[in-house]
């Protein structure tokens, strides 16, 4: 058993989740891998045990299933070895808002928002009590860009960013690091599952490069990491403009520009 904190990774059977598992295993962390596909998980776990010597537990769970989600929450609450949560499981939903069915939207929100929030909520009190640990939430640049047209998906990722920033403000003073990672298009199975052919797309980052960049941000303790963004000053300017508005929000009356002309 490693002396380093165990890392629980959701969506660990492919793509970004698998690479996170590989990278943390190579750093000597034991793992808890969570996904729906037990066969894939077992194969990945066996390989990582053999290659790195770390302990790897496999938890088959569909995070849109209430019983499965509750079991992972229980593991996060009760297993004191788990010190890092990689909240990676998610799905995409292509197409215009008016073409979506209520069930598809509800399923997407259930996974991208509800499950992610509940898992963070399960582990955060224990980490805060111990004064250490980390929560990494995988968001997306789409959450900053309604122009990209993935309205419901982008809204779920905007939620993840806001949640992460709020948790950072609450938990950083208590020793818990919270990171939001905002990928752009990345070569994962999320595209195939949503009905798109990633091979026809341009500007697609390889998964290993994405995770390595995110981990560099993790090691630097960035609260928001945007691997494809060339200039950090653009994000800093965005945040400066946002925070400059905050003192103006608490007003007794509507702004002059919203008052009837005399």
Dist. CA 61–CA 8, nearest whole Å:
13
∠ Cα 61 193 228 (to 5°): 95
Q: Which two tokens stand for residue 66?
A: 């209430």
Residues 2 and 13 sit within 8 Å (Cβ to Cβ): no
Q: Which two tokens stand for residue 250?
A: 């608490």
34-50 exposure pattern, b = at least 16 Cβ within 10 A, e = fewer: bbbeeebbeebbeebee
Dist. CA 85–CA 7, nearest whole Å:
6
Residues 115 and 64 sit within 8 Å (Cβ to Cβ): yes
Residues 210 and 186 sit within 8 Å (Cβ to Cβ): yes
Contacts with 28 (C-beta within 8 Å, 6 or more apart), sequence order: 2, 4, 52, 54
Spell out where 25-92 has E strands. 31-35, 56-60, 82-87
Dist. CA 32–CA 55, nearest whole Å:
9
State yes or no: is 153 an active-site residue: yes
What is the DSSP secondary structure assignment for residue 88, as one 8-state letter? -
What is the DSSP secondary structure assignment for residue 49, as one 8-state letter? H
Known catalytic residues are 153
């Amino acid at each position: 058993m490693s002396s380093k904190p165990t890392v629980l990774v959701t969506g660990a059977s492919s793509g970004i989740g698998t690479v996170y598992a590989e990278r943390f295993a190579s750093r000597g962390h034991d793992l808890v891998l969570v996904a729906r596909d037990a066969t894939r998980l077992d194969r990945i776990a066996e390989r990582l045990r053999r290659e790195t010597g770390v302990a790897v537990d496999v938890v088959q769970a569909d995070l849109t299933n209430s019983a499965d989600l509750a079991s992972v929450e229980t593991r996060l609450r009760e297993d004191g070895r788990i010190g890092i949560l990689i909240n990676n499981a998610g799905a995409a939903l292509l197409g215009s808002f008016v073409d979506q069915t209520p069930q598809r939207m509800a399923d997407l929100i259930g996974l991208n928002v509800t499950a992610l929030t509940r898992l963070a909520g399960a582990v955060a009190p224990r980490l805060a009590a111990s004064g250490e640990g980390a929560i990494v939430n995988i968001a997306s640049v789409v959450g900053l860009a309604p122009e990209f047209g993935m309205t419901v998906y982008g809204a779920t990722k905007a939620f993840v960013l806001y949640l992460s920033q709020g948790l950072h403000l609450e938990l950083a003073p208590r020793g818990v690091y919270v990171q939001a990672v905002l990928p752009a298009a990345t070569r994962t199975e999320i595209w195939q599952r949503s009905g798109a052919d990633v091979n026809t797309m341009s500007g697609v980052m390889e998964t290993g490069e994405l995770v390595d960049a995110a981990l560099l941000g993790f090691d630097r303790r960035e609260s928001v990491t945007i691997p494809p963004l060339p200039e950090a000053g653009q994000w800093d300017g965005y945040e400066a403009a946002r925070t400059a508005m905050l003192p103006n929000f608490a007003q007794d009356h509507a702004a002059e520009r919203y008052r009837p002309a005399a």
